[in-house]
């Protein structure tokens, strides 16, 4: 569904992404993992059109998207949950959700299935985003991404700074979205226990290069644990 081919990206003179190629097959949860600073977020920003790539191709559903502005990528069915969540603290939970609906096909009210996935968002719909705990804000960020009715969601380190019980809950929800709703997910992650629970496929990045890939069930057999920090 998403195909990245020979992508190179630079910040000034620093060569950050080096000939990166990988795929996210439709209907899978694919994990992109790697230590701090290897270029994971840069890759995701390139996918979303937040940074531009110098060389290489990115295609979604067989269509090249590298030159499209971010909002057109969202309209074509890709949603993004940024690292650090980026919730608006002074807007209510409901207002934060509507921010995700900024495209033309967006719903006029919050779809009930989002509240079914994350009941806490309904309970707290009129509270300020800033009043929520880290885990609740992460749930809000995922709910906001779902508001654009995406075919694919990209999440950048959703477990960062979150309590283990909420991590588990988020993991279950992501798997449910893939298995029951046919969603495709690209998850950026370093937390190996979480990756083992949810990954259909994995790709490992090290210093801006893809150095390993395989099926989630083989993560331990493939001996790639030393390539992530946790
Ligand atoms: N805006 C920027 N300008 C210059 N260099 C940057 C910029 N953003 C990131 N970098 C550098 O690019 C490299 C890759 O950073 P990136 O944020 O993509 O890593 P990451 O794998 O997401 O790390 P983390 O796991 O800590 O989130 C790092 O060396 C970082 O310092
Ligand atoms: Mg990052």
Domain count, the chain: 1
Token pair in block for residue 87: 């919730």
Q: Which pairing describes strands 2-11 and 78-81: parallel, antiparallel, or unpaired?
A: unpaired
The ligand placed nearest to the CA atom of residue 33 is: 1
The Cα 50–Cα 95 span in angstroms is: 23
Q: How far apart, in Å, are the Cα atoms of 51 and each of 9, 21, 68, 102? A: 8, 17, 12, 21
The ligand placed nearest to the CA atom of residue 20 is: 1
Q: pTM of the entire structure?
A: 0.95
Q: What residue numbers bound the domain in which 67 lies?
A: 2-227
Query: By the 8 A CB rule, do 53 and 28 touch?
Result: no
The Cα 141–Cα 84 span in angstroms is: 10
**Gap from CA of 8 to ligand 1 centroid (Å):** 14
Which atom number of ligand 1 is nearest to the Cα of residue 39? 18
What CATH number corresponds to the domain at position 95?
A: 3.40.50.300
Encode the chain (230 residues) as per-residue pLDDT tens digits.
999 999 999 999 999 999 999 999 999 999 999 999 999 999 999 999 999 999 999 999 999 999 999 999 999 999 999 999 999 999 999 999 999 986 666 677 899 999 999 999 999 999 999 999 999 999 999 999 999 999 999 999 999 999 999 999 999 999 999 999 999 999 999 999 999 999 999 999 999 999 999 999 999 888 888 888 65
Q: What string of H, E and C letters represents the secondary structure of the chain?
A: CEEEEEEEEEECCEEEEEEEEEEECCCCEEEEECCCCCCHHHHHHHHHCCCCCCEEEEEECCEECCCCCHHHHHHCCEEEECCCCCCCCCCEHHHHHHHCCCCCCCCCCCCHHHHHHCHHHHHCCCCEHHHCCHHHHHHHHHHHHHCCCCCEEEEECCCCCCCHHHHHHHHHHHHHHHHHHCCEEEEEECCHHHHHHHCCEEEEEECCEEEEEEEHHHCCCCCCHHHCCC
Query: By the 8 A CB rule, do 188 and 155 touch?
Result: yes
CB under 6 Å to ligand 1: residues? 11, 16, 34, 36-42, 83
Angle 182-184-185 from CA coordinates, rounded to 5°: 135
């Amino acid at each position: 569904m998403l195909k990245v081919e020979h992508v190179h990206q630079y910040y000034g003179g620093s060569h950050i992404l080096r000939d990166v190629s990988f795929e996210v097959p439709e209907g899978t949860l694919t994990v992109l993992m790697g230590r701090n600073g290897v270029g994971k977020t840069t890759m995701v920003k390139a996918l979303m059109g937040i940074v531009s790539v110098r060389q290489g191709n990115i295609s979604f559903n067989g269509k090249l998207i590298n030159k499209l502005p971010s909002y057109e990528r969202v309209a074509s069915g890709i949603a993004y949950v940024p690292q650090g969540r980026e919730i608006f603290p002074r807007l209510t939970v409901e207002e934060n959700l509507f921010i995700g609906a900024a495209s033309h096909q967006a719903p006029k009210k919050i779809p009930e299935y989002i509240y079914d996935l994350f009941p806490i968002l309904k309970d707290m719909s009129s509270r300020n985003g800033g009043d929520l705990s880290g885990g609740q804000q992460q749930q809000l960020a995922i709910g906001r991404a779902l508001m654009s009715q995406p075919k694919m969601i990209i999440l950048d380190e959703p477990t960062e700074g979150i309590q283990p019980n909420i991590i588990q809950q988020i993991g279950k929800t992501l798997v449910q979205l893939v298995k029951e709703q046919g969603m495709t997910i690209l998850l950026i992650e370093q937390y190996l226990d979480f990756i083992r629970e949810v990954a259909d496929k994995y790709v490992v990045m090290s210093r801006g290069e893809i150095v390993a890939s395989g099926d989630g069930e083989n993560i331990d057999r493939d001996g790639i644990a030393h390539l992530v920090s946790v």
